[in-house]
A and B are shown apart, each in its own frame.
Chain A
Amino acid sequence: MTAQLEYPDIDDDNALLSIQGLWKVFGPKAQRVPRRPELAALDRAALAAKTGCTAAVRDLSFNVAPGEVFVVMGLSGSGKSTLVRCLTRLIEPTAGSLIFEGEDLRAADEKRLRELRRSKFSMVFQHFGLLPHRKVLDNVSYGLEVRGESKPDRRRRAQEVIDLVGLAGNEHRYPDQLSGGMQQRVGLARALANDPDVLLFDEPFSALDPLIRREMQNEVVRLHREVGKTMVFVTHDLSEALKLGDRILLMRDGAAIQLGTGDELVGAPADDYVRDFVRDVPRADVLTLRWIARAPRDGELLDGPELGPDLLVREATRLVLESDRPVKVVDGGQLLGVISPEEILAVVADPADSHWSAQSSVRPTD
């Protein structure tokens, strides 16, 4: 049932983290499920009825590029939190391979795994997972403490990241004296303190109220710009996914439904589930002109203004509507198509009714 995934794939050589055929099955004798094709093919209810097992992650394969923000999205119960825990084997995967910088993580022993967790990976949790009996400073330096760094070193480093995430002045307070947003900043600082290569986020902002959530999302965008870490970000919030993600993996019942950039998900949904999922997205904010350009009709004047294909529809709206002739979408001197007000209006005016896809852009909207 894995959809045909069409996305600019990162080849295995460039990938920082490469996941192949990953499975996580809970239940009795879980190993047999990925091994036996007739079990692997069963859907959730049938598998539970037949074996008593639940496949939280089923046969996932993807690569994460260095410096990328890779978002895993799905509704609750889709297996996304299990997936992100499998990446550092906080939950032991049932089958598949995990390659990080050319090293097979599934072959790593306890000790090597600890080393990797101490220096290469960090995780930020939905409910923060702070230690209530430690001050902010000691929470942040916890990772440094368990890897045996000296007290002055970890103080200095902890102070650095506390300043970085905007917590300065709160070093000696306890978590329960901080607001939710501030607590998650502590979680973020703790994850950054050991200077990891990969930051894993498990729905970090779901427990926060909307204003704080937006503020924290901006914080992540800023941190990504400043420290340039690779991030794997789990969320159930589509607008968060679209805002943060370079690429988005959409999961359902443990399996991948679609993997692509935000505008690919909105512009070319792989199936009705994805289409339904992205229905309420303000499409003008996500789709670029590439998605709505159509072939020029016979006799149309092609001397209108030119725009690039990666411009958002919203940004082009005014120009197109004010222009008295179709706007040309040009990529490197090559004409991709034209846009007239009707294409813009189809996106902006009635997004719930029109099903935009790569195909629908060439046929008239209904």
Chain B
Amino acid sequence: MAAITSDVHVEVRRPRRSVVIGVLLVVWVAAYFVLSGIDTLPLGGQETTGFHRWLTENRDFVGQGNIVFDTIRSVVDQLVVLLQSLVSQPSYGRPVPVVGWLGVVAISAYLAWAFGNWKVAVLTAAGLAFVGLQGLWQESMDTLALTIAAVLLSLLIAIPLGIWAGLSNRAFKVATLILDLMQTLPTFVYLAPLTLFFAIGPAAATIATLIYAAPPAVRLTAHAIRSVPPESVEASRSLGSTRGQTLTKVLLPMSRSTVVVGINQTIMAALSMVTVAALIDAPGLGQTVLKALQTLDVGVAFNAGLAIVVIAIVLDRVTTAAGDRPWRTASVRRKVLLGAGAIGVLVAIWFSRTYVWAAEFPSSIGVGSRIAVIAADVTTWVQDVFGGFTYGVRDAVTKGVLNPLEALLTGSPWWLVGAVVVTLAAILGRWKAAVPAVVCIGLLVATGVWQDSMVTLASTLLATVVVVAVGLTLGVWAGRNRRVDLVIRPILDAGQTMPPFVYLVPFLALFGTSRFTAIAAAVVYAVPVTTKIVADGIKAVPLATVEAANSVGSSSWQVISKVQLPVARRAITLAVNQGLIYVLAMVVVGGLVGAGALGYDVAAGFAQSELYGKGLAAGLAIVLLGVLLDRITQAAAPKPHGKGDKQ
């Protein structure tokens, strides 16, 4: 329904463009029937090109011998090992970590209380106890240790950079440019090239996480500094403050809550990436999920996925509460309580170092295995009961839509697909989109994984169409109706905080291993962000404009199609853009569950050393696809009118 609206609206705006695109697609299909099978650049699973072999051979030369990368790796490694020996791994000649579970729970709850409030402190204690009861204490602590290491390093880099970008216009422009580019790259693609430099293991995982998690903190710190009211800064200067005094006494304190939002996003991104980094041998819960996914053990995967969600919720709530806390001097009563709490924490740590029951999480209570069994039972039941239906849906969609689309993309000669894509880019965004399209297509061919890229593209396009349809419908609904927004938004927020791995688990149960599973997971993964952006765009339409439309007697449908959607057009384009990127990331992760193509190539590259180069090339191809799709959708966005930059 909403998709129709957008068509109507595109037609109203520029009828010729859509006609041209339609003709282009018809010509392509016609040409496909004539030319199919020619120049399709196929490459079998174990086949490699010269480029791939070259990458494989030069792996050690670039990575291990280089002193700079080795130094970075060893420093990061030491930090990770330090944190692991503190909370998760046997350390310093003892069979248990320095701080046992009781100590960790006490410290975490105390920090949650001190920075947030008592509610999130209770949540923290309960959440940690729960993952312990699941039998995943050590894995959870490994994940936590990696996350903390990555977050610490991220913030160490991101906050000063953010301050710099907040103070200097030039730095802000450069930073925005780089961060925009970084955000268009799917998470998964950082991993492949990084292993080339830092080998596989915790260090590479931490560095990949750092790269992925730092941008939000940079962005929000810069934004926070820049949105301090200029009068407060002027007031400070007018009283004769030095630059340092203005920064420490005015800018930083006034930016605090926004910076905390940035830290929250950094933590969530880090957690999500740390679990994905299981692919390059990072320890922790991701490893458990990955192994279970590979053996199709839905029960165990669900149990570990649940632990990730619990940790994500705890981290999210605590940092959100910390951001909401007003910056006021603590009352005497609170100070006394904080002091008493600190003593309690010390006692708990002492217990956890003295008694085995407080050091090692008791394993007698097997909640985890029960969850796994129940999840497996439910899966079997669902497969038995709905299997016919869900598998039917899967097969219908696969046969009816996915296969023809994939055939069109993979069966056409590469130059035909290239020509269609470049023409499409040129129609939508003139040379600004056409030039990147030419470059990306050329490089995609050069990577040697053209056909796999086309398979991935087919899944991505199909999932994106669904995401945009669902996202627009939900977004318009939530944007127009406050009550719906109130209900939907927490669900969307929860959806966004979950690491991508987790999405695969239920769909694996419903649809088995297939391309369709990855598409379904990608839809669920990308719908929240798309919906949110659309809803915000619709809400940002000035109330007066909507009232004016209502006052001339427009129907709801007319208000939506003639006023709200056109005015929110930029937001909708952004929503499509973000939807595409999210879908691409998930489709690639879906390579693990039978979606094959680029995702599988990358995963195989990690696993089999002789396929290393091919995996790297596939990683590169993912980046190229991402850039290609991003450029084309960005170019389709209307330009903002009237750049009245006021000094």
Contacts and interface: CB of A to CB of B under 8 A. Distances in A.
Interface of A: 26-27, 54, 85, 88, 90, 113-119, 121-123, 125-133, 135, 142-143, 145-147, 174, 187, 190, 194, 200
Interface stretch (B240-248, B520-528, B540-548): B240-248
Contact of B234 (A116, A129, A190): A129
B245 A129 contact: no
Nearest to B252: A133
25 contacts: A27-B647, A90-B237, A114-B240, A116-B240, A123-B234, A123-B235, A129-B229, A129-B236, A130-B232, A131-B249, A131-B254, A132-B254, A133-B256, A133-B327, A135-B329, A143-B239, A143-B240, A146-B236, A146-B239, A146-B240, A147-B240, A187-B235, A190-B235, A194-B239, A200-B238
A146 B242 contact: yes
A282 B440 CA distance: 73
Nearest to B241: A146
Nearest to B246: A146
B238 A88 contact: yes
A175 to B, nearest CB: 10
A346 to B, nearest CB: 45
Contacts of B241: 114, 146
Contacts of B313: none
Contacts of A194: 239
Interface in B423-448: none
Contacts of B250: 131
A200 B234 CA distance: 12
Q: B237, B245, B254, B328 — which one has the most chain A CB atoms within 10 A of its CB? A: B237
A118 B254 contact: no
Interface of B: 229, 231-242, 245, 249-250, 253-254, 256, 327-329, 647
B586 to A, nearest CB: 41
B647 A90 contact: no
B338 to A, nearest CB: 19
A26 B249 CA distance: 29
B254 A117 contact: no
Interface SS majority for chain A: mixed
Contact of B238 (A119, A123, A130, A132): A123
Contacts of B254: 131-133
A146 B249 CA distance: 9
A97 B239 CA distance: 22
A142 B231 contact: no
A114 B242 contact: yes
A196 to B, nearest CB: 10
Given A127-B229, A129-B229, A174-B328, A115 B240 contact: yes
A117 B239 contact: yes
A68 B409 CA distance: 81
Nearest to B243: A110
Contacts of A119: 240
A145 B240 CA distance: 10
A308 B97 CA distance: 95
A130 B253 CA distance: 12
Contacts of A26: 647
A118 B240 contact: yes
Nearest to A130: B232
Contacts of A27: 647
Contacts of A117: 237-240
A260 to B, nearest CB: 28
A91 to B, nearest CB: 9
A126 B231 contact: yes
Contacts of B239: 117-118, 122, 142-143, 146, 190, 194
Closest 10 CB pairs of A and B: A118-B240, A129-B235, A129-B231, A117-B240, A143-B239, A123-B238, A114-B240, A133-B253, A125-B231, A146-B241
A142 B234 contact: no
B646 to A, nearest CB: 9
Contacts of A145: 249
A290 to B, nearest CB: 39
A125 B239 CA distance: 12
Given A26-B647, A146-B245, A174-B328, A131 B240 contact: no
Contact of B249 (A54, A113, A121, A142): A142
A189 to B, nearest CB: 12
Contact of A90 (B232, B238, B242, B256): B238
B168 to A, nearest CB: 17
A192 to B, nearest CB: 12
A35 to B, nearest CB: 20
A76 to B, nearest CB: 13
Contacts of A116: 240
Contacts of A143: 239-240
A187 B329 CA distance: 22
Given A54-B647, A123-B238, A142-B236, 11 more contacts: A114-B240, A117-B240, A123-B235, A125-B234, A129-B236, A133-B256, A133-B327, A142-B249, A146-B239, A146-B242, A174-B328
B231 A127 contact: yes
Contacts of B235: 123, 125, 129-131, 187, 190
B647 A131 contact: no
B231 to A, nearest CB: 4
B328 to A, nearest CB: 7
Contacts of A187: 235
B256 to A, nearest CB: 7
Contacts of B236: 129, 131, 142, 146
Contacts of B229: 127, 129
Contacts of B647: 26-27, 54
A168 to B, nearest CB: 20
Contacts of B237: 90, 117
A297 to B, nearest CB: 57
A88 B254 CA distance: 25
Contacts of A132: 254
Contacts of A88: 238
B436 to A, nearest CB: 31
Q: B229, B231, B245 — which one has the most chain A CB atoms within 10 A of its CB? A: B231
Contacts of B327: 133
B231 A128 contact: yes
A194 B233 CA distance: 18
A123 B236 CA distance: 10
A200 B245 CA distance: 22
A131 B249 CA distance: 9
Contacts of A128: 231
A241 B229 CA distance: 27
A90 B234 contact: yes
A118 B241 CA distance: 8
Contacts of A114: 240-242
Contacts of A126: 231
B253 to A, nearest CB: 4
Contacts of A118: 239-240
Nearest to B329: A135
A52 to B, nearest CB: 11
Nearest to A125: B231
A139 to B, nearest CB: 9
A90 B254 CA distance: 21
Contacts of B234: 85, 90, 123, 125, 129
Contacts of B256: 133
A121 B235 CA distance: 11
A61 B235 CA distance: 26
Contacts of A146: 236, 239-242, 245, 249
A343 B139 CA distance: 95
Nearest to A56: B647
A10 B329 CA distance: 51
B235 to A, nearest CB: 3
Contacts of B253: 131, 133
A85 B231 CA distance: 11
B326 to A, nearest CB: 8
A113 B245 CA distance: 15
A68 B373 CA distance: 86
Contacts of B233: 129
A190 B250 CA distance: 15
